[in-house]
Amino acid sequence: MSAIDDLTEYLNKDERIEGIVFGAYSSGYTPFFEDDKWELEYNEPNPPPVPFNIRGKVLTLEQAKPYMIDWDFYNGTGVKAYATYIWTNQRIIFVTQYDGETELAAVPRNPINIFPEFIG
């Protein structure tokens, strides 16, 4: 599997992606100041599948696809995914992590009657 395959499978019928933003790999460091440098996180591939210069920037699905091939959102042991926010016409999708396992989760895009739940 790949992150793009995971995401495609996770989408609802008629759900369209409007924007994707990538963050740090695993529990990696996110630069706080604009002039701070990104660093490879422990076990992050080199070169990284998601280059430093596109992290934190809103991408279209077509722009993001090439960076979603060599990793996935569902990890059994150890976080091996990028922090990611995905806006769709229906939901906001993001990566959760619990005890080293990652998966996709989502909340409604707009206020609706719903029973909230703890995620993670």
pTM above 0.75, yes or no: yes
Residue 120 pLDDT > 80, yes or no? no
Domain boundaries defined on the chain: 3-108
* pLDDT of amino acid 77: 67
- pLDDT tens for each residue of 54-103: 999 999 999 999 999 999 999 776 678 999 999 999 999 999 988 878 89
Alpha-carbon span 63 to 28, nearest angstrom: 23
Residue 34 has pLDDT above 80, yes or no: no
Q: Does residue 23 carry a pLDDT above 90?
A: yes
pLDDT score of 80: 85
Q: Does the pLDDT of residue 107 top 90, yes or no? A: yes
SS3 110: coil
DSSP code, position 11: S
Termini Cα distance of the chain: 22
